[in-house]
Structure 1
């Protein structure tokens, strides 16, 4: 069976449309249709039910799809391994981190790579709205640090390691609190104040649905440092990583909001993330092992 045909079949299963698959893979619709026909001829049964508007897998097709995905993953791993064996240490290693994380977590890794793999060029990229995860999924980054929720696994084939605690806290500036006349004591109080909230994440998660926080007025930002500056300037209240707000909290410029029955703190973990479909090179693998 042809690997490209398997990849087409997987894409059709995800999109449910020959036309959308053709557009995504830069093929003609007839080429995709022919690939499916050849696969079904080789398999000896129908992979898709074509009666409805959207192509749906048959029961046999569902079993076939799982094995097809594994074959494609194995091919990707083998290709990645061949590249590493051919070239040795990576000429370029791209490390990503979400801006909500402390970038200093990369420092020991960078020092190690400079000493052990001096010919490997390092790119360290900060990203917002969980784009770091998206870059791991599309192969434009080798490793990423980001806050982790189990539901992220549905957006890519990831392997992760927990590396540090991650805490979110609800804060308001002292200046805004004085202007309001009191510390917010209820959800109703929060409704009367603007909320500084992140924009929806790049990986398709609606934060409004997840956080369910009260506010009639919203200022949406796409980067946590901008959110912090606006919080400090008294433009509203919001949820922010505690390590970013820590100095301002200690100096009394920001105050944590505590309302009975309302979320005050969220405790998660920062994870190191890699793709399960690619084999890490020596330098990236050394970083992974150091965190493990």
Structure 2
């Protein structure tokens, strides 16, 4: 039983004609007929119903051709895998995202990468605070998605591409601050309400310098996911990445708080980051170029 025989059988099932099989395979009709008869002898049962004008599959043949299609598909996948490995495609691609950044922004690029490089296994992991940046530096991941400040360059030789703005929003549950109070809210109104704040970021962001609310009751947590859950439970108010609470704001579980002079000017972006000291593999480069192309389009419009 040869792969070429299975391919002819599949073509016959699709086109119903030995002549068309011969045209598709660039063989003579006699050669196709001989190959199909040889396949029938090898399997040991009738693949074809020869009672009609045209050669047709027998019931056993119809069952057999379904499995033949899968065998041919597997062979094609194996050939594709060999080509990918010959071209140097990575066995694995490791991506870390900071919990403050919704990873869904990566999904279109990942889909395209998986189509182009099916042999590359993707490892996607979340990290609290900005440890993903350090994981890039230490070679634990190839790419990281996280908020970016120029000061991060002092922590390593990085390349980065802007993905989108990083928005911080002050929020609370409606039960903590009534609508009436919200209309006249001042900084002093929040002093008696616990403020939920992530612990100091260890790679450059200092929220105490960004915010101007000294002498406040505070509850510090070690990541933004925990902070969001405490906010939803009505344990206090706080500042969170807008991505993490967008759905809660839309359904009214949380409400935004607008306080004049609440935050100093701070410009943050979500960026895709990689080490500038290593050569990227083709799967990694495909994801990188996805965002590089988007960046070029923004500049041209």
TM norm structure 1:
0.65
Q: CA deviation at 1:277?
A: 1.1
- For residues 1-292 of structure 1, the aligned pairs below 5 Å read 88-178=88-178, 182-183=181-182, 185-203=185-203, 205-263=205-263, 268-292=268-292
Give the number of aligned pairs: 207
3-state secondary structure, aligned to 1:272 = strand
CA distance in 2, matches of 1:131, 1:149: 14
Change (3 A) 1:265 1:235: farther
- The answer for the alignment partner of 2:55 in structure 1 is none
TM norm structure 2:
0.63
CA distance in 2, matches of 1:210, 1:263: 6
Please say if residues 169 and 265 of structure 1, whose CA atoms lie closer than 8 Å, have aligned partners that are also in contact: no
Residue by residue over 1:151-179, the C-alpha shift from the partner in whole angstroms, topping out at 9 and shown as x without a partner, is 1111111110001122111111111114x
CA distance in 2, matches of 1:205, 1:167: 14
3-state secondary structure, aligned to 2:166 = strand
3-state secondary structure, aligned to 1:89 = coil
Residue by residue over 1:71-103, the C-alpha shift from the partner in whole angstroms, topping out at 9 and shown as x without a partner, is xxxxxxxxxxxxxx9981111110111111111
Please say if residues 211 and 262 of structure 2, whose CA atoms lie closer than 8 Å, have aligned partners that are also in contact: no
- 5+ residue gaps, structure 1, are 1-84
Q: CA deviation at 1:205?
A: 4.5
Please say if residues 200 and 207 of structure 2, whose CA atoms lie closer than 8 Å, have aligned partners that are also in contact: yes
